[in-house]
C-alpha cells in the first residue's frame, strides 16, 4: 500500500522533503499559503527529478502523487508522516501544531525541520507531545542523507531509512543540535575573517572546497585528525595540537557586530564571486557535484556512498521476463557524461556489462555460483551506437540469449530510451570458465537446464538483423 506524507511549508526545505518522499514512491499532500508555492515546488522537484535517480544503478520506485491542499487539516488527515517546515518562529510553529492536532490521528509521527529549537520548546501546549520531535535535514534534502533526530520515538527511523535517509540520533536535546553548532562555529569565524580583511568570501570558500572540505566529505572530523596523528593515532594528535586550543587562533566566543557595513561587505563579495549565476544554475551545479562525489564514494563503498548502496539494495531489480530480459533500467548519471555533454562510449560498455551481469543472475550464475568457483568471462563485445544519451535520461536494456549451448553464452542487447527508441545495440560473447584454472569449462547441470529453457524461449523472438550484428 502506498504511503502518504504531509508536508507543511513548501520552501526550499519543505520542497526537498516532498521530493525525497515522492521519488521514493510516497504520495505527498503539501500545504503552503504562498500563492507562488506550486511554481517554487515545481522548480525544486525538477532539480530533484533529474539528480536523485542519478545516485542509483537501479530505477527508483514509480513517482508518487503530489497534491497541493488548501488547509493544514486537509494535509494531515489520513497520512503516515507529517513534516513541518515552516519558518523558524516558535509562535508560528505552535499555531501550526495546534492545527495539526485537531485533524491528524493521535499516533501519526510529526517531525519538525527546525534547525535550532529543542523538542521541549516545540511541545509546549501539545496534546500529544510524545509524537512531536525534531527531524532536521540538510539542503538539498533530496540528495544529502543525514537527518538529525532529537526526542524521536524508535518508530521514526524506519520510514526515513526506507527513503534513503540516514537518521542520526542526538543523545540530548541542545540548541541547534549537532551539525548546525559546528556550522555556526565556522560561520562565525568566517565573518571575522571577512570583517578584518583577512580573506574574501571566495577565498574562504576556496579554503574549504580545495582543502578540508574534501576530507570532511568522506571521513568527517575525528577520523581526519586521527590520521594527522600518524602511527601514534589520536593520542599523539591531541598531545601535539591540544595546547593550540589555548592560543588566540579563533574568536568563537566573540561575535562581530552585525552592522549594515558588514552585511554590505559580505553581500558585495558574494555578488562578485557568483552573482553571474542564477540561484537555479547554482543549485544545478551543486546537485551535479554532489551526485558525482557521492557516486565516487559509492564505488568505494564509503561514507554517503555506502548508504546509497544499502538503499539501492532495497529497490526492485529490473524485471526478468522470459523474452526478452529487462537487464538495465536506470537514469544516466552525471559522471557518465563527457565534454560533449552526453554519455561517453565507455559507459555504453558499462551499461551492456551490467546487462550481461543481470543475464548471468537470471540463468543462475549469481554471486553464490561465482563463489563456488565458476563464472563467465566476456571474450568479445561489439557495440553499435545509434543515438546519444544525456545526463538525467532514462535508459533501459533488453537482452536476448542467442546461444546458450555448451561453454558459450551469446547475447544481444538493445538499449532503449524512455520513448522506446533504440540508442545502441551490442552483441556479446561470453565463455564459461573455472575460476580456479582460469580455463573454459562446461556449466553445472542446473545452469545448463535453465540456459536451455531461456534459449528456447528467446529463439521464438525476432532475431537481430545482420546489419545489427556487425
Residues 6+ apart with CB under 8 A from 45: 15, 18, 19, 22, 66
pLDDT at 56: 97
Set of cell numbers at residue 247: 592560543
> Buried (b) or exposed (e) across 17-31, using 16+ Cβ within 10 A?
bbbbbbbbbbbbbbb
pLDDT, tens digit, 9 for 90 and up, residues 376-408: 999 999 999 999 999 999 999 999 999 999 999
How far apart CA 67 and CA 7 sit, in angstroms, is 10
pLDDT, tens digit, 9 for 90 and up, residues 326-360: 999 999 999 999 999 999 999 999 999 999 999 99
In this predicted structure, the answer to whether residue 136 has a pLDDT above a threshold of 80 is yes
CATH 3.10.129.10 region(s) of the chain?
A: 325-459
Residue 72: Cβ within 10 Å count: 24
- Enter the CATH code of domain 325-459: 3.10.129.10
pLDDT band at 470 (very low <50, low <70, confident <90, very high): low
Taking the whole predicted model, whether its pTM rises above 0.85 is answered as: yes
How far apart CA 31 and CA 41 sit, in angstroms, is 11
Q: Are 157 and 134 in contact (CB under 8 A)?
A: no
Classify 4-177 by CATH class: alpha beta
CATH 3.40.50.720 region(s) of the chain?
A: 4-177
pLDDT band at 197 (very low <50, low <70, confident <90, very high): very high
Task: Give mean pLDDT, residues 444-452.
Answer: 95
C-alpha 301: how far from chain center? 14
Q: Is the domain defined by 180-276 classed in CATH 1.10.533.10?
A: no
CATH 1.10.1040.10 region(s) of the chain?
A: 180-276
pLDDT at 34: 96
Residues 6+ apart with CB under 8 A from 334: 51, 54, 288, 291, 292, 391
Amino acid at each position: 500500500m502506498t504511503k502518504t506524507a504531509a508536508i507543511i511549508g513548501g520552501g526550499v526545505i519543505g520542497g526537498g522533503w516532498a521530493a525525497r518522499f515522492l521519488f521514493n514512491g510516497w504520495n505527498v499532500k503539501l500545504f503552503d499559503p504562498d500563492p507562488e508555492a506550486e511554481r517554487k515546488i515545481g522548480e525544486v522537484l525538477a532539480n530533484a527529478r533529474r539528480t536523485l535517480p542519478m545516485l542509483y544503478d537501479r530505477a527508483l520506485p514509480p513517482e508518487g502523487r503530489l497534491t497541493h491542499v488548501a488547509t493544514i487539516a486537509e494535509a494531515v488527515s489520513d497520512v503516515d508522516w507529517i513534516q513541518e517546515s515552516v519558518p523558524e518562529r516558535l509562535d508560528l510553529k505552535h499555531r501550526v501544531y495546534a492545527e495539526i492536532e485537531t485533524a491528524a490521528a493521535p499516533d501519526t509521527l510529526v517531525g519538525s525541520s527546525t534547525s535550532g529549537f529543542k523538542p521541549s520548546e516545540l511541545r509546549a501546549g501539545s496534546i500529544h507531545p510524545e509524537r512531536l520531535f525534531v527531524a532536521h535535514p540538510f539542503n538539498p534534502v533530496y540528495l544529502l542523507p543525514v537527518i538529525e533526530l532529537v526526542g524521536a520515538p524508535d518508530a521514526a527511523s524506519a520510514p526515513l531509512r526506507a527513503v534513503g535517509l540516514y537518521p542520526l540520533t542526538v543523545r540530548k536535546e541542545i540548541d541547534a543540535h549537532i551539525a548546525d553548532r559546528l556550522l555556526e562555529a565556522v560561520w562565525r569565524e568566517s565573518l571575522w575573517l571577512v570583517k578584518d580583511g583577512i580573506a574574501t568570501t571566495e577565498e574562504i570558500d576556496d579554503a574549504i572546497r580545495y582543502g578540508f572540505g574534501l576530507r570532511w566529505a568522506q571521513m568527517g572530523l575525528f577520523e581526519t585528525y586521527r590520521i594527522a596523528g600518524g602511527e601514534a593515532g589520536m593520542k599523539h594528535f591531541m598531545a601535539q595540537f591540544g595546547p593550540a586550543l589555548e592560543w588566540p587562533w579563533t574568536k568563537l566566543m566573540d561575535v562581530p557586530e552585525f552592522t549594515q557595513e558588514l552585511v554590505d561587505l559580505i553581500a558585495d563579495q558574494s555578488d562578485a564571486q557568483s552573482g553571474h549565476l542564477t540561484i537555479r544554475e547554482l543549485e544545478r551545479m551543486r546537485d551535479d557535484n554532489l551526485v558525482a562525489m557521492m557516486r565516487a564514494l559509492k564505488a568505494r563503498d564509503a561514507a554517503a556512498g555506502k548508504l546509497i548502496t544499502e538503499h539501492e539494495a532495497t529497490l526492485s531489480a529490473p524485471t526478468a521476463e522470459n523474452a526478452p530480459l529487462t537487464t538495465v533500467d536506470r537514469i544516466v548519471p552525471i559522471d557518465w557524461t563527457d565534454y560533449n555533454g552526453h554519455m561517453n562510449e565507455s559507459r555504453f560498455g558499462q551499461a551492456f556489462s551490467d546487462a550481461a551481469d543481470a543475464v548471468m543472475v537470471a540463468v543462475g550464475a549469481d554471486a553464490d555460483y561465482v563463489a563456488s568457483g565458476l563464472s563467465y568471462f566476456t571474450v568479445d563485445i561489439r557495440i553499435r551506437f545509434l543515438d546519444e544519451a544525456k545526463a538525467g535520461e532514462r535508459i533501459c536494456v533488453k537482452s536476448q540469449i542467442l546461444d546458450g549451448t555448451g561453454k558459450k553464452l551469446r547475447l544481444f542487447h538493445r538499449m532503449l530510451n524512455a520513448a522506446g527508441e533504440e540508442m545502441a545495440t551490442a552483441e556479446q560473447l561470453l565463455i564459461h570458465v573455472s575460476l580456479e584454472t582460469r580455463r573454459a569449462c562446461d556449466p553445472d547441470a542446473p545452469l545448463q537446464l535453465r540456459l536451455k529453457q531461456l534459449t528456447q524461449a528467446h529463439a521464438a523472438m525476432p532475431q537481430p538483423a545482420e546489419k545489427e550484428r556487425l
